[in-house]
Structures are given as C-alpha cells and as structure tokens.
Amino acid sequence: MYDITRTLGWPMPVLNELNQPHFDAMAEGKVMVQHCPDCDTWLAPGAFLCENCGSTGVRWREASGRGEIYSYVVMHRSFDPAFEALVPYNVCLIELAEGPRLLANVVGVANGDLSIGRAVQATFESVGEGLPLLKFKPG
C-alpha cells in the first residue's frame, strides 16, 4: 500500500527522489528510467541500487520510448472517480527496448486488439486537469 495524492485531479503517488524524475520528465515528453553505469544495466525507475551488480551509483537516463506489450488487463470496473468515464480501459506492462518494464495505458488501439508482444512507442497525453502522463501507442 502507498499513499495516493491528487495532482491536477489525477491519482498520483507521493513523489520522492526515487520516482520524481520519472514523472517530471513526462512534461518534457521524455521516458526517464534508471541505468547502472557500472554494469551497463537499464533499470526500472524507483531503483535504490542496481539489482544486477549492487552498485549504488544508479543514474537517471532517457530511454528510447520503444517497447512491446509484456502483459495487459482490461479494467471493467472503476475503483477511482478519475477512471469512471474510461471503463473499460486497459493497463499494460510495457517492456522497453532497453529492458525495464513500465505500467502504462496503451492508446489508439481497441482493447480487443491488445496482444502480448505487440510493438508500442511512447506518447504523452494530458489527463485530469492538464497533467502530462506517459502512455504508449502502437508503433
């Protein structure tokens, strides 16, 4: 469990040094994840240390934004008012070309056409009252 806050009317985690650069980068249209310079391993954001070599020298680094669908669900119920009008909506686990996986909604494709392995690329859409959020689209 973690605390949820509202930013521009949208549910968001409370930001801290382990996740803020990822969310801040969305306003600039960038997919920021983490990277270990010591062993050249790309890491999902939120890493405190490199899970491959144990280094604490993990850095933020921009990813290409290309990836594929690793798994996905279709939400048929709303658990939060922000999503009420969107049901049924998808949530996908995207495996970036660099390796890290990110949760995101995939836009521009019908829920029935989602499939594991489908190529996607990053796009940014405004949610709530103008919050830029990382999404993915076919590509």
C-alpha distances in Å from residue 92, one per residue of 71, 74, 75, 89 = 6, 9, 11, 10
* CB of 105 vs another protein, minimal distance in Å: 6
104 binds another protein (CB under 8 A): yes
| Beta strand 66-75 pairing with 119-127 | antiparallel
End-to-end Cα spacing for the chain: 34
Segment interacting with another protein (CB under 8 A) among 58-66, 97-105, 118-126: 97-105
Q: Which of 71, 113, 125, 126 binds another protein (CB under 8 A)?
A: 71
In whole angstroms, the minimum distance from the beta carbon of 102 to another protein comes to 7
Contact letters for another protein, residues 116-135 (x by CB under 8 A): x----------x-----x--
Q: What does each C-alpha distance from 90 to 69, 73, 86, 103, 139 come to in angstroms?
A: 12, 6, 9, 10, 17
**Nearer Cβ to another protein (27/79):** 79
